[in-house]
Amino acid sequence: MLRYVVRRLLTLVGIVIVISVGSFYLIHLLPGNPATVILGTGDSPANRALLYKQLGLNRSLVAQYVIWMGNVLHGNLGVSFISQTSVASTIRAALPIDVELIVLSQILAFAFAVPLAMRSARHPDGLVDRLLSAGSFTLLSIPPFIVIVLLVLVVSIKLGVANTGPSSYVSLATDWVANLESLSLPAFTLALGSFVLYFRVLRSDLIATLQEEFITMARSKGISHRRIMWRHALRPSSVALLGTAGVNIGGLLAGGFVVEYLLAIPGLGYTLISAIASSDYLLVQGIVLVVSVGVVLVNFLFDFAINLIDPRISRE
Amino acid sequence: MSATPERTTSATTAPVASEPVLLSVRDLTTTFATNAGPLRAVDGVSFDLGREEVLGVVGESGSGKTVLSRTIMGLLARSRVTVSGSVRLDGVEIVGASENAMRQLWSTRVAMVFQDPMTSLNPVMRVGHQIDEVLRVRLGLSRTAARARSLELLSLVGIPSPAERYRAYPGQLSGGMRQRVVIAIALAGAPALLLADEPTTGLDVTIQAQILNLLDDLTARLHMSVVLVTHDLGVVATRTSRIMVMYAGRVVESGPTADVFADHRMPYTRALLECSPRVSNAPHTRLAAIPGRPPNLAALPAGCSFAPRCAYATERCHREVPALVETTTPGHQYACWNPLPARGGPRP
């Protein structure tokens, strides 16, 4: 087990180096530069050169990367060129919003996916199964940016529910009820995609598990159908589900951006898109670093959970 | 498990009228709806099983013996299967009973030992908890009482250091150990009837004998009735009081074990007997096999279903299905137009 953890951590280091090099290079390929954003277009070339020197942007890309990485290893993510605030504090303010959003969406997704997958798997190709499968396909084919716009239109504009419209984010510390309200629509939108994924993966695994002889044996004990589902069928059917959830949650960490941006929720996604627009190199680098480490860690965590849930895997 | 007294297998152990019948099966027919049309896996089977009696059900693969035991257990999926006839367990009708009604009988009245211990235990659940489940859910024992009883059951089925094994996952146990756990689960609810469906097929020969002796010993000690399903006549020879030979879903011969062995009348029974290897055979002799294959149950031949493989078949055998007829020995019946002569016995 220790060897496994060490191997995973080494993988993590490799992934972070590759991603940070890649994003460092890509952000410098983008048109626009911080000097233009800070000084405007009318300033003299001499002033620009001076600012470039002050920001350290006159050095080669490799030298910039090495300096940046050296600082990161000392726990220093740097200070934003634009806002002059520390990148670490900006991330500290934005990250909890994403974490909360993901936790809420995953609770919703699992709360619906698990019981409905059980219901569907009970009679495969039965009426309920067909309705649920068709419904989940329909949901899958509507992109999140359409869903969130429709939800805002109906819930916050037509029905007038408070704190649900764009730019109405309230922090958890201020008012937790208003906070939940302000995150309800984006959480629901993110939950839809996850729900469809989890429902489909779990349904097919459950159908296969229910054919197993040990399920017949469990039936022959005279225990209830509910107990067979929850105690006997769910656990051996959740390996693929947990693997999928790990990848999906990693994806949400990086991909919840559209919803955040549309509702102006000041999470990492919103901050990243603004940072890219203003060529705020260090902030972009910092966010990319945190998100990539987060994605790898979430996957690691779920792989670990799979090991716990199925004793066959760690042995084999 | 050694020094287990073997059951006496004489003709006198056949059910007598005074003995109350535990299980009564009448004209039981199990039909599967398949794409090739209806498939009768069990066709008009009738028998009685007395208390503490052990019945051996013998036949090749596909003879319907597994379906018979699952039908009696009421475990077949209701949507694809039609069952007619009657199965009465202690007077309670099982054919047509709802899953809810069956749940009341499972574990506490009737339990099953499954064929393959590699697949019949939940791989992600500790074996102790799989035994506990019966005790807690069905018998209402507390967590601690169930644990104590599970440990007792584990030692009853001959598992060394039960406290350690209690926490093991099935994958950490050998096949023989797993089958012992399966037996412990079946015994947990103290059923009156135990259905053992080829309980040793997936095991090594030495382990087979251990498991069979264990079953033998436990049925006597716990006063259970047993239906022992197998394809191996050697298995039932010393462990059953009666044998029922099945072919293509029908009973072709049944009677007291000793009588069927010594005085079988149906050519199929003899063919089965000749398939068992014997110590008296010269070394390197070829094992006997029955020519041909068991018939396709969805397209049974007219007449006796064994006729296409039978050396004694006549024109009538291909035309009319023989009914079961009594021999002079009480309880010994066979279904054959051209029976072997009485007191034939197995050929040397």
pLDDT value at position B145? 96
Q: How far is A303 from chain B (nearest CA, A)?
A: 16
pLDDT value at position A314? 63
Check A236 against B122: CB less than 8 A apart.
Answer: yes
From the list B327, B348, B344, B328, the residue with the least C-alpha distance to B269 is: B344
Check B137 against A236: CB less than 8 A apart.
Answer: no
Is residue B24 pLDDT above 90, yes or no? yes
**Cβ atoms within 10 Å of B142's Cβ, excluding its own:** 10
Domains of chain A: which residue ranges?
A: 21-73, 88-315
Report d(CA A165, CA A154) in Å as an integer: 10
Check A223 against B103: CB less than 8 A apart.
Answer: yes
- Please state, rounded to an integer, the average pLDDT across all residues of chain A: 87
What are the φ/ψ torsions at residue B8 (nearest 5 degrees)? -75, 130
Q: Which amino acid is present at B142?
A: S
Q: What is the ipTM of this complex?
A: 0.85
Strand B242-247 to B250-256 pairing: antiparallel
pLDDT mean over A153-176 = 83
Is residue B48 pLDDT above 50, yes or no? yes
Domains of chain B: which residue ranges?
A: 21-240, 250-277+287-334
Is residue A299 pLDDT above 70, yes or no? yes
Is residue B5 pLDDT above 70, yes or no? no
Which pTM does this prediction carry?
Answer: 0.83
From the list A242, A252, A257, A255, the residue with the least C-alpha distance to A301 is: A242
Strand B81-89 to B21-34 pairing: antiparallel
pLDDT value at position B311? 85
pLDDT mean over B26-54 = 91
Is residue B306 pLDDT above 50, yes or no? yes
Q: How far is B119 from chain A (nearest CA, A)?
A: 6
Chain B environment of A236 (Cβ under 8 Å): 122-124
**In terms of CATH, what superfamily is B21-240?**
P-loop containing nucleotide triphosphate hydrolases (3.40.50.300)
Q: Summarize pLDDT for B210-253 with one digit per residue, the tens.
A: 889 998 888 888 999 999 999 888 888 888 999 999 999 999 99
pLDDT mean over A145-169 = 84
Rounded to 10 deg, the angle between the A281-309 and A61-73 helix axes is 50
- Does residue A221 sit at the B interface (CB-CB below 8 Å)? yes
Q: Summarize pLDDT for B134-146 with one digit per residue, the tens.
A: 999 999 999 999 9
Check A217 against B185: CB less than 8 A apart.
Answer: yes
The structural architecture, per CATH, of the domain A88-315 is: Orthogonal Bundle (1.10)
pLDDT mean over A136-143 = 86
The tokens describing A250, both together, are 């990693």
pLDDT value at position B70? 93
Q: Summarize pLDDT for A176-225 with one digit per residue, the tens.
A: 888 888 889 999 999 998 999 999 999 999 999 999 999 999 999 999 99
Query: Which A residues, 183 through 212, put their C-beta within 8 Å of a C-beta on chain B?
Result: 212
Which residues touch B196 (CB under 8 Å, ≥6 apart)? B112, B113, B215, B226, B227, B228, B229
Beta strands in chain B (DSSP E): 21-34, 37-50, 54-58, 81-89, 92-93, 110-113, 193-197, 225-230, 242-247, 250-256, 325-326, 333-334
pLDDT value at position B53? 92
Instruction: Please name the residue ranges forming H helices in B35-174.
Output: 65-73, 99-105, 127-133, 143-156, 162-166
